[in-house]
Structure 1
Amino acid sequence: MAKVIMVQGTMSGAGKSLLVAGLCRIFKQDGYVAAPFKSQNMALNSFITSEGLEMGRAQVMQAECAGIEPLVCMNPILLKPTSDVGSQVIVNGEVIGNMRAREYFDYKKKLVPDIIKAFDRLSKKADIIVIEGAGSPAEINLKENDIVNMGMAKMVDSPVLLVGDIDRGGVFAQLFGTTMLLEDEERDRIKGFVINKFRGDVSLLDSGIDMITEKTGIKTAGVIPYMNIKVDDEDSLTDKFNDKANATLNGNAADIAVIRYPRISNFTDFNCFDALENAVVRYVDSIYDLGDPDIIFLPGSKNTIADLKWLRESGLEAAIKRFSMKKPVFGICGGFQMLGKKIIDPSGTESGIGSAIRGMELLDIDTKIQEEKVRKQVNAKASFPKGVFESLGDAEISGYEIHMGESTRDGKIESDLVISDGKYVYGSYVHGLFDKGDIAACILKVLGKSGSGNFSYEEFKESQYDILADTIRQNMDMDYVYSCLKEAKITE
Structure 2
Amino acid sequence: MSRVIMIQGTMSSAGKSFLAAGLCRIFKEDGLSVAPFKSQNMALNSYITEEGLEMGRAQVMQAEAAGIRPEAAMNPVLLKPTSHMGSQVIVNGEVLGNYSAAEYFKMKKSLIPEIKRAYDSLAERFDVIVVEGAGSPAEINLRENDIVNMGLAELIDAPVLLAGDIDRGGVFAQLYGTAALLSDRERARIRAFIINKFRGDKEILKPGLSMLYERCPIPVAGVVPYMDVDLDDEDSLADRLWAKDTAMDRNGRKAFARIAVVRLPRISNFTDFNALEHLPGVALYYADRPEELSAADLVILPGTKNTMGDLKWLRETGMEAAILRKYGEGCFVFGVCGGFQMLGMRLSDPFGIEEGGTLRGLGLLPVETVFSREKTRTRVTGNAWVFEEWGGTKASGFTGYEIHMGETKRAGGRPCTGIRKESDPAGAAIKEDGCIQSRAAGTYVHGFFDSQEIQRAVWELLAGKYGISMDKLPEAGGFSMAAHKEEQYKKLAGILRENLDMDRIYGILDRRL
TM-score by length of 1: 0.95
State the one-letter code of the partner of 2:341.
Q
1:283 and 2:298 aligned: no
Flag the 1:420–1:164 CA change in 2: closer, same or farther, 3 A: same
1:417 offset after TM fit, Å?
A: 3.1
Gaps of 5+ in 1: 488-492
Q: Which residue is equivalent to 1:4?
A: 4
Q: Is the CA contact 1:385–1:420 (under 8 Å) kept in the aligned structure 2?
A: no
1:382 offset after TM fit, Å?
A: 3.5
Listed as ranges, the matches of 1:216-235 within 5 Å are: 216-235=216-235
1:471 offset after TM fit, Å?
A: 0.5
Flag the 1:277–1:212 CA change in 2: closer, same or farther, 3 A: farther
Between 277-286 and 75-84, report the one with greater CA deviation.
277-286
Q: Which residue is equivalent to 1:160?
A: 160
1:277 offset after TM fit, Å?
A: 4.3
1:454 offset after TM fit, Å?
A: 5.0
Between 379-388 and 62-71, report the one with greater CA deviation.
379-388
Listed as ranges, the matches of 1:134-283 within 5 Å are: 134-247=134-247, 251-283=254-286
1:338 and 2:354 aligned: no
Distance 1:481 1:276 in 2: 39
Q: Which residue is equivalent to 2:428?
A: none
1:168 offset after TM fit, Å?
A: 1.0
Q: Which residue is equivalent to 1:406?
A: 407
1:453 offset after TM fit, Å?
A: 4.2
1:442 offset after TM fit, Å?
A: 2.8
Q: Which residue is equivalent to 2:449?
A: 434
Q: Which residue is equivalent to 1:490?
A: none
Distance 2:387 2:237 in 1: 36
Distance 1:188 1:248 in 2: 49
State the one-letter code of the partner of 1:265.
S
Q: Is the CA contact 2:36–2:62 (under 8 Å) kept in the aligned structure 1?
A: yes
Distance 1:460 1:276 in 2: 13
SS, match of residue 197 in structure 1: strand
1:486 offset after TM fit, Å?
A: 4.4
Q: Is the CA contact 2:381–2:399 (under 8 Å) kept in the aligned structure 1?
A: yes
Gaps of 5+ in 2: 416-430
1:236 offset after TM fit, Å?
A: 2.8
State the one-letter code of the partner of 2:346.
K
Distance 2:124 2:280 in 1: 41
1:106 offset after TM fit, Å?
A: 0.9
Listed as ranges, the matches of 1:322-333 within 5 Å are: 322-325=325-328, 326-333=330-337
Distance 1:383 1:38 in 2: 39
Flag the 1:58–1:253 CA change in 2: closer, same or farther, 3 A: farther
Q: Is the CA contact 1:229–1:464 (under 8 Å) kept in the aligned structure 2?
A: yes
State the one-letter code of the partner of 2:382.
A
Distance 1:426 1:228 in 2: 34
Distance 1:341 1:398 in 2: 28
Distance 1:278 1:309 in 2: 34
Q: Is the CA contact 2:59–2:70 (under 8 Å) kept in the aligned structure 1?
A: yes
State the one-letter code of the partner of 2:368.
D
Distance 1:247 1:95 in 2: 43
Between 357-366 and 316-325, report the one with greater CA deviation.
316-325
1:387 and 2:389 aligned: yes
TM-score by length of 2: 0.91
Match of 2:354 among 338, 341, 350: 350
Q: Is the CA contact 1:275–1:457 (under 8 Å) kept in the aligned structure 2?
A: no
Q: Is the CA contact 2:246–2:255 (under 8 Å) kept in the aligned structure 1?
A: no
Distance 1:87 1:258 in 2: 24
Distance 1:465 1:419 in 2: 37
Flag the 1:476–1:385 CA change in 2: closer, same or farther, 3 A: closer
Distance 1:180 1:276 in 2: 48
Between 55-64 and 404-413, report the one with greater CA deviation.
404-413
1:52 offset after TM fit, Å?
A: 0.5
Distance 1:371 1:474 in 2: 50
Distance 1:275 1:121 in 2: 38
Listed as ranges, the matches of 1:64-75 within 5 Å are: 64-75=64-75
Distance 1:458 1:441 in 2: 16
Distance 2:326 2:173 in 1: 50
Distance 1:276 1:306 in 2: 32
1:102 offset after TM fit, Å?
A: 1.1
1:375 offset after TM fit, Å?
A: 0.4
State the one-letter code of the partner of 2:499.
N
Q: Is the CA contact 1:438–1:456 (under 8 Å) kept in the aligned structure 2?
A: no
1:34 offset after TM fit, Å?
A: 1.1
Distance 2:186 2:73 in 1: 25
Distance 2:254 2:277 in 1: 16
Flag the 1:151–1:225 CA change in 2: closer, same or farther, 3 A: same
SS, match of residue 443 in structure 1: helix
State the one-letter code of the partner of 2:314.
L
1:363 offset after TM fit, Å?
A: 1.0
State the one-letter code of the partner of 2:345.
K
State the one-letter code of the partner of 1:346.
P
Distance 1:410 1:424 in 2: 17
SS, match of residue 236 in structure 2: helix
Task: Provide Cα deviations, 1:412-453, integer angstroms capped at 9, x if missing partner.
Answer: 9974234311x3111100000010234213311220164534
1:227 offset after TM fit, Å?
A: 0.9
1:464 and 2:488 aligned: yes
1:90 offset after TM fit, Å?
A: 0.7
Q: Which residue is equivalent to 1:128?
A: 128
SS, match of residue 96 in structure 2: strand
SS, match of residue 73 in structure 1: helix
1:17 offset after TM fit, Å?
A: 0.6
Q: Which residue is equivalent to 1:481?
A: 505
Q: Is the CA contact 1:3–1:129 (under 8 Å) kept in the aligned structure 2?
A: yes
Q: Which residue is equivalent to 1:420?
A: 436
Flag the 1:253–1:478 CA change in 2: closer, same or farther, 3 A: farther
Distance 1:412 1:443 in 2: 20
1:248 offset after TM fit, Å?
A: 6.8
Distance 1:315 1:248 in 2: 27
Match of 1:366 among 365, 368, 382: 368
Q: Is the CA contact 1:159–1:486 (under 8 Å) kept in the aligned structure 2?
A: no
Q: Is the CA contact 1:374–1:402 (under 8 Å) kept in the aligned structure 2?
A: yes
Distance 2:244 2:413 in 1: 41
Q: Is the CA contact 2:414–2:435 (under 8 Å) kept in the aligned structure 1?
A: no
State the one-letter code of the partner of 2:386.
F
Task: Provide Cα deviations, 1:369-388, integer angstroms capped at 9, x if missing partner.
Answer: 01100001112334336422
Q: Is the CA contact 2:388–2:394 (under 8 Å) kept in the aligned structure 1?
A: no
State the one-letter code of the partner of 2:440.
V
Q: Which residue is equivalent to 1:315?
A: 318
1:462 offset after TM fit, Å?
A: 1.1
Q: Is the CA contact 1:82–1:88 (under 8 Å) kept in the aligned structure 2?
A: yes
State the one-letter code of the partner of 2:264.
Y
Match of 2:378 among 376, 379, 386: 376
Distance 1:459 1:13 in 2: 26
SS, match of residue 291 in structure 2: helix
Flag the 1:412–1:245 CA change in 2: closer, same or farther, 3 A: closer
State the one-letter code of the partner of 1:419.
C
Flag the 1:419–1:65 CA change in 2: closer, same or farther, 3 A: same
State the one-letter code of the partner of 1:140.
I
